[in-house]
């Protein structure tokens, strides 16, 4: 059985992934700010550094998989959104890449199906992926008004998906795979507190696989995709963005793939 490291594995989608991997007999090391095997605030560079050092110390012979799942939603300040959704995932992936290389492992990151909607700011995506200077980006993020938090969220997840696509060839030459999942609205602790009005707004376009029902996808459905991509069964898949959104992206963009 394998050794997997997950970020944000305490609740929601991450908790389901961790549960499934453990049930399959794998060892799972959870990096989270609460309830983790190693407690770390991954929105801060020093938190990431400590977390990576802990993984290197615990698994010097390598790891089989890394699940970069930690992230925050559009209700958080843009500084937190950019630092945790983009910089934490990319830096943890690159930082732990040497351990993955030792065992020919793989990485799966959690993006979002919002990466294709109108709220994405291409200039912010370029800022994240092309400038890639966290200190400078966060200074700019401080000036983003609260009403544009959804734009910051979708842009951070779009940048993450772009990054995965960009680096996948170089990862492959090292014998590694890296992919992303793009979940739709999912029932998690983050969404359970939504008001009726917020729920109605989120389901303005019904989820095809939930048509006629006022409900989100289950965290287990997203976790199934993540666990598959992290397994040997997905050995031929690299640089893919797997939409797990009940068919929303296909509904809205039926002519694009």
CA–CA distance, 59 with 56 (Å, rounded to integer): 5
Q: Which residue is catalytic, options 4, 59, 153, 211?
A: 153
Question: What pLDDT is attached to residue 195?
Answer: 73
What mean pLDDT do residues 90-116 have?
97
| pTM of the predicted structure, to 2 decimals | 0.94
Annotated catalytic, 153? Answer: yes
- Containing 32, the helix (H) or strand (E) segment is strand 27-32
- Containing 248, the helix (H) or strand (E) segment is helix 248-252
- Taking 70 as the threshold, does the pLDDT of residue 128 lie above it? yes
Question: What pLDDT is attached to residue 190?
Answer: 67
CA–CA distance, 254 with 9 (Å, rounded to integer): 33
């Amino acid at each position: 059985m394998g050794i997997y490291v997950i970020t944000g594995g305490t609740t929601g989608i991450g908790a389901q992934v961790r549960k499934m991997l453990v049930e399959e007999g794998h060892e799972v090391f959870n990096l989270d700010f609460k309830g983790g095997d190693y407690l770390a605030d991954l929105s801060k560079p020093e938190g990431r550094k400590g977390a990576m050092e802990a993984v290197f110390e615990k698994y010097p012979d390598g790891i089989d998989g890394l699940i970069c799942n930690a992230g925050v939603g559009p209700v958080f300040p843009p500084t937190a959104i950019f630092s945790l959704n983009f910089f934490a995932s990319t830096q943890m992936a690159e930082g732990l890449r040497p351990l993955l290389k030792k065992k020919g492992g793989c990485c799966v990151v959690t993006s979002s199906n919002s990466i294709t909607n109108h709220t994405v700011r291409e200039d912010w995506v370029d800022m994240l992926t092309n400038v890639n200077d966290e200190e400078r980006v966060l200074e700019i993020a401080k000036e983003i008004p609260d009403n544009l938090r959804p734009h910051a969220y979708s842009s951070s997840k779009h940048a993450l998906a772009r990054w995965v696509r960009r680096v996948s060839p170089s990862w492959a030459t090292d014998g590694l795979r890296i992919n992303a999942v793009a979940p739709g609205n999912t029932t998690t602790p983050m969404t359970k507190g939504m008001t009726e009005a917020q729920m109605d707004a989120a389901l303005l376009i019904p989820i095809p696989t939930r048509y006629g029902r006022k409900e989100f996808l289950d965290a287990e459905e997203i976790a199934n995709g993540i666990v598959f991509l992290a397994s040997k069964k997905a050995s031929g898949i690299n640089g893919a963005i797997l939409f797990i959104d009940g068919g929303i992206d296909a509904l809205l963009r039926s002519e694009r793939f």
